[in-house]
Chains A and B, each alone.
Chain A
Amino acid sequence: MDIIMTRRELLKAMTAAGLGLALTGYAGPALKKLMAEELARESNTPVIWLQGQGCTGDSVSLLNTVHPDIAEVLTETINLQFHPTVMASAGESSLQMCERAIKDQKGKFVLVVEGSLPLGADGHFCDIGETAGKPVSCIQWMKRLGPAASAVLAVGTCAAFGGIPAGKPNPTQANSVSQILPNATVINIPGCPAHPDWIVGTIAHVLLFGIPELDEHKRPKAFFSKLVHENCERRSYFEEQKFAKDYGDEGCLFELGCKGPIALCDAPIRSWNNKRNWCCRSGGPCIGCTQPTFPEHEGSGLYGCLPLSKTEGIPWARREEFAKTRS
Chain B
Amino acid sequence: MATKVKIAPVTRIEGHLSIEAEVENGKVASARVAGEMFRGWEIILKGRNPLDAQQITQRICGVCPCCHAQASSLALDAAFDVHPPDNGRILRNLMLGSNFIQSHILHFYHLCALDYVDVTAILKYKGKDRKLNKVKKWAGGEVASGRWNALAPFLPRFKGDYIEDTELNIACVAHYLEALEMRRKAQEALAIWGGKMPHEIAIFPGGASERPTVDKIASYLSYMKELQSFVDNVYVPDVLAVAKAYKQYFKIGKGCGNLVAYGVFETNNEGTQKFIGSGTYIDGKVAALDASKIAEYVGHSRYSSASGRHPSNGETVPDANKKEAYSWLKSPRYEGAVCEVGPLARMGVAYLSGSNEKAKKLVADALKELGADVSDLFSVLGRHAARALECKLVADACAEWILQLKPGQPVHTKFEIPKEGAGMGLTEGPRGALGHWIRIKDSKIDLYQCVVPTTWNCSPQDDQGKSGPVEQALIGTPVADPENPIEVLRVVRSFDPCLACAIHLVDGEGKTLQKFRVS
Chain A 17-69 interface residues, beta-carbon cutoff 8 Å to B: 18, 20-21, 23-24, 32, 35-36, 39-40, 42-43, 46, 51, 53-61, 63-64, 66, 69
Q: Which residues of A contact B145 (CB under 8 A)?
A: 20, 35-36, 39-40, 42-43
- Check A207 for interface membership: any CB of B closer than 8 A: no
B202 touches A273 (CB 8 A): no
A-contact bits for B52-65, CB 8 A (1 contact / 0 none) = 10011001111101
| Segment at the A interface, from B37-45, B260-268, B346-354, B458-466 | B37-45
- Check B86 for interface membership: any CB of A closer than 8 A: no
- Check B512 for interface membership: any CB of A closer than 8 A: no
Q: Which 9 A-B pairs have the closest CB atoms?
A: A57-B62, A283-B209, A284-B201, A282-B195, A20-B144, A171-B40, A272-B196, A273-B191, A39-B145
28 contacts between A and B (CB under 8 A): A23-B144, A24-B146, A39-B141, A42-B145, A55-B59, A56-B14, A56-B62, A60-B63, A63-B183, A64-B188, A76-B138, A80-B152, A82-B152, A88-B12, A88-B156, A89-B155, A90-B12, A168-B47, A192-B59, A192-B199, A193-B198, A248-B209, A276-B192, A283-B211, A284-B204, A301-B48, A302-B52, A304-B49
- Check B412 for interface membership: any CB of A closer than 8 A: yes
- Check B127 for interface membership: any CB of A closer than 8 A: no
Chain B min CB distance to A280 (Å) = 8
- Check B480 for interface membership: any CB of A closer than 8 A: no
A83 to B318, CA, bound (A): 29
Chain A 78-128 interface residues, beta-carbon cutoff 8 Å to B: 79-91, 93-97, 100, 104, 118, 121-122, 124-128
**A residues engaging B (CB < 8 A)?**
15, 18, 20-21, 23-24, 32, 35-36, 39-40, 42-43, 46, 51, 53-61, 63-64, 66, 69-71, 74-76, 79-91, 93-97, 100, 104, 118, 121-122, 124-130, 135, 163-165, 167-172, 174, 192-193, 246-248, 257, 267, 272-274, 276-279, 281-285, 287, 289, 295, 301-304
B198 touches A57 (CB 8 A): yes
- Check B246 for interface membership: any CB of A closer than 8 A: no
Q: Which residues of A contact B193 (CB under 8 A)?
A: 277, 282
A46 to B153, CA, bound (A): 11
With A40-B145, A90-B11 known as contacts, the answer to whether A75 contacts B134 (CB < 8 A) is yes
Contacts beyond the supplied A86-B153, A279-B201: 7 A-B pairs with Cβ under 8 Å: A21-B140, A57-B59, A85-B13, A118-B38, A130-B8, A276-B188, A282-B209
A296 to B340, CA, bound (A): 37
A277 touches B191 (CB 8 A): yes
Q: Which residues of B contact A164 (CB under 8 A)?
A: 39, 41, 44, 56, 59
A59 to B62, CA, bound (A): 8
Q: Which residues of A contact B189 (CB under 8 A)?
A: 276
With A21-B143, A42-B145 known as contacts, the answer to whether A89 contacts B65 (CB < 8 A) is no
A79 to B150, CA, bound (A): 8
- Check B6 for interface membership: any CB of A closer than 8 A: yes
- The count of residues in chain B whose C-beta lies closer than 8 Å to any C-beta of chain A is 97
- Check B51 for interface membership: any CB of A closer than 8 A: yes
With A276-B191, A303-B52 known as contacts, the answer to whether A61 contacts B202 (CB < 8 A) is no
With A71-B135, A130-B6 known as contacts, the answer to whether A21 contacts B144 (CB < 8 A) is yes
A18 touches B137 (CB 8 A): yes
Q: Which residues of A contact B110 (CB under 8 A)?
A: 86
A21 to B125, CA, bound (A): 13
Q: Which residues of A contact B197 (CB under 8 A)?
A: 64, 272-273
Chain A min CB distance to B288 (Å) = 33
With A75-B134, A273-B187 known as contacts, the answer to whether A135 contacts B40 (CB < 8 A) is no
Q: Which residues of A contact B206 (CB under 8 A)?
A: 247
A87 touches B153 (CB 8 A): yes
Chain B min CB distance to A154 (Å) = 16
With A64-B197, A281-B195 known as contacts, the answer to whether A20 contacts B39 (CB < 8 A) is no
Residue picked from A55, A86, A94, A172, most chain B C-beta under 10 Å: A55
Chain A min CB distance to B504 (Å) = 9
B183 touches A274 (CB 8 A): no
A-contact bits for B117-137, CB 8 A (1 contact / 0 none) = 000000100000001001101
- Check B257 for interface membership: any CB of A closer than 8 A: no
Q: Which residues of B contact A130 (CB under 8 A)?
A: 6, 8, 18
Q: Which residues of B contact A104 (CB under 8 A)?
A: 148
A83 to B209, CA, bound (A): 36
Which among B158, B202, B318 is the interface contact of A90 at CB below 8 angstroms?
A: B158
Chain A min CB distance to B161 (Å) = 15
